[in-house]
Amino acid sequence: MTRVNPEAHIVSFILASASPSTSRVARRLVPGPWTKLLLKSIMATAFFVGSAVCVQAQNSQQSGADESWTTTKDTAPQYANPSRTTESHTKSGNRTVDKQRMEFLGPNGGYQPAAETETETVQVDATTTRTVVRTYQFDGNGQRTLARVSEQESRNTAGGGVRTENKISASDVNGNFQVIRREVADTKTVSPGVEETKSTVYQRDSYGGFSQAEQTQEVKTHAADDSVAVKKTTLMPDGNGSWKVSDVTEKSIKADGKDRTTEERVSRPDLDGRLEERSRSVVKEGETATGEKTSTVESYSVFSRGYSDSSMHLNQRVTSIQKKGSNGETTEQQIEEPSSGNPSDGAKVSGRAKYVVKYAAPGTQQATQETRTFETRDANGNFHVVSSETEKSTQPAAQAPAKQKSDAAADKPQEKPPVKP
């Protein structure tokens, strides 16, 4: 039996807790040959539900009071070592601490820690929130060492905007901690329905100080029909003391009842400095009359497999459908990609995935069980299971989830924009 290196699962562990924007980028960057990793990333980030989300939704109803809970999830992959993920949440007054630890079954039959994160959020006052994320690594003896610290402070300004300061610290070769990256972002409303965010990233330089490494400007516009348009421009130093455009990302979100379409285009300068579109993604989400949620994600790129004409072509299409019942839910996915040998034949199904969640019965000690199955298609058109995982969690039985905002709704201006860790 082939054993998979635990680091591969740590990647999925990180993606599962990453921000939506990070997850979307991760999905777009994974090319065809790594379909298995793509499937795992999609399952971890793109499905409509996940155990951590469920637990948070259940407890969010009591967010006004002190609370604490702990869940344990055991995962048994088909071709890799079993793993265990433990999550805990503690809220006391204005301080909240969330911990997440991943362990793998060792050669002696016991679980050994592999990665751990601790997120501490403090509501300093009515206008200021401070969040600290500590990342730990473990050596062969199970000794925990602090590897990275991310600190963010966000506060509402007198003019109705938000100023956010981030800094990341890491240990050097001698084990000493020092700040290696800083970022300052200011968000303000420039006109009715228009919000602007300007940020500057500073990196530690060879002289022991900090130099500007990146500047971004993001303008978010809300139209009368509730559609949202976002344009983000990134600037990088040109080496001559000036700045040049690195890329421009334009995104639009349009909603029609329960249907929503999100389109994103990324343009970069060519050798002559002229912007040209390099990639595009289109996401269509909806809900059927019977309550099934559907999603289709199409990605296009000038680097699509099999093409060398530098034109935009379909790179991948992922179609998902989720069905929910009283005892659980099932999500099925289908991945289509063009053939590298004959791309003009159109996209063909290259992989399938199925994700099943079976809720624990209320009032019992049963565990919530999740199964994931991934299949890829060989040269003869036959599908083969390349990965199968089973997870059991001590998470309590699912309750009515808290109402979730759509992307378009979440993008609407607020008097005091929420702070995200």
Q: Is 101 among the domain residues?
A: yes
Q: Is 14 among the domain residues?
A: yes
Q: Is 421 among the domain residues?
A: no
Q: What is the mean pLDDT of the chain?
A: 81
Residue 64 is predicted with a pLDDT of 63
Give the residue-averaged pLDDT of 294-301. 96
Alpha carbon distance 283, 281 (integer Å) = 7
pLDDT at 82 over 50: yes
| DSSP conformational letter for 4 | B
pLDDT in tens, 83-131: 999 999 999 999 999 999 999 998 888 999 999 999 999 999 999 999 9
Q: Is 242 among the domain residues?
A: yes
Residue 219 is predicted with a pLDDT of 98
Residue 1 is predicted with a pLDDT of 37
Q: Is 418 among the domain residues?
A: no
Q: Is 90 among the domain residues?
A: yes
In the chain, how many domains are there?
1
Q: Which of the two residues, 247 and 392, has the higher pLDDT score?
A: 247
Q: Write down the number of H helices and E strands in the chain.
A: 5, 20
Alpha carbon distance 259, 288 (integer Å) = 10
Q: Is 344 among the domain residues?
A: yes
Question: Residue 66: which pLDDT band, with cuts at 50, 70 and 90?
Answer: confident
Residue 388 is predicted with a pLDDT of 87
CATH code assigned at 308: 2.40.170
Residue 76 is predicted with a pLDDT of 84
Give the residue-averaged pLDDT of 65-91. 88
Q: Which of 244, 262, 267 is nearest to 252 (CA)?
A: 262
Distances (CA, A) of 418 to 67, 141, 161, 231, 342: 21, 41, 11, 20, 48
Instruction: Please give the angle made by the CA atoms of 237, 239 and 245, to the nearest 5 degrees.
Output: 35
pLDDT at 151 over 60: yes
Question: Residue 396: which pLDDT band, with cuts at 50, 70 and 90?
Answer: low
pLDDT in tens, 324-365: 988 899 999 999 999 887 888 888 999 999 999 998 877 666
pLDDT at 263 over 80: yes
Residue 239 is predicted with a pLDDT of 87
Residue 395 is predicted with a pLDDT of 57
Residue 336 is predicted with a pLDDT of 95
Residue-number span of the structural domain to which 326 is assigned: 6-410
Q: Which amino acid is at 367?
A: A
pTM of the complete model: 0.75
Q: Is 110 among the domain residues?
A: yes
